Structure 1
């Protein structure tokens, strides 16, 4: 297994020591590997969210090009946005 040296803050080091001492991991390497798996999962989820957001932006741009939108003036903007939020709940 490859070895890599990393620098931790005092707080991070204390956290790793705490979780090992508490028996959640057998050693610091296990704790750090688990943290890296969590980071990988978060980055994958972020990529998926970004892909979905881009799809929604493209759908919105296509709707604009088709003229499929409702124009809202400044006075009605707050009420319109409140209505959209209420409909999502």
Structure 2
């Protein structure tokens, strides 16, 4: 494995020390590897969310272009959103 020198704040150094002292990790390298693993996981999750938003945006734009939308005036917006909220909380069998 490659060796790297990393500058840590006193707080970060203390966190690593405490985790090793707790016995959860054998050494600072294990703590750092776990931190990087979690960061990789978070980045992958963020990328998946961004991709889902891009797809939803594309679908929304296509729906608008093809006239698949409901126009609601400002006065009816609260009532419309309440209906959507209620519909979203109903079990699937009650929606039909």
Relative to the length of structure 2, the TM-score reads 0.84
Measured against aligned partners, the alpha-carbon deviations of 1:24-81 in whole angstroms (never above 9, x if no partner) come to: 1000011001100000011011111111111111001000000000011111222322
Separation of aligned partners in 2, 1:70 and 1:61:
14
Whole-angstrom CA distance in 2 between matches of 1:88 and 1:32:
42
Give the number of equivalent residue pairs. Answer: 89
What CA RMSD, in Å, does the superposition of the two structures yield over aligned residues?
A: 1.3
Which structure has the higher relative contact order (CA within 8 Å, separation 6+)? 1
SS of the residue aligned with 2:20? helix
Q: Which residue of 2 aligns with 1:31?
A: 31
Q: How does 1:65-76 map to 2 (within 5 A)?
A: 65-76=65-76
The alpha-carbon deviation at position 87 of structure 1 amounts to 3.0
1:45-84 → structure 2 map (5 Å cutoff): 45-84=45-84
Q: Does 1:14 align with 2:14?
A: yes
Tell me which stretches of 4 or more aligned residues in structure 1 moved more than 4 Å.
none
TM-score (norm 1): 0.90
Q: Distance in 2 between matches of 1:87 and 1:12?
A: 47
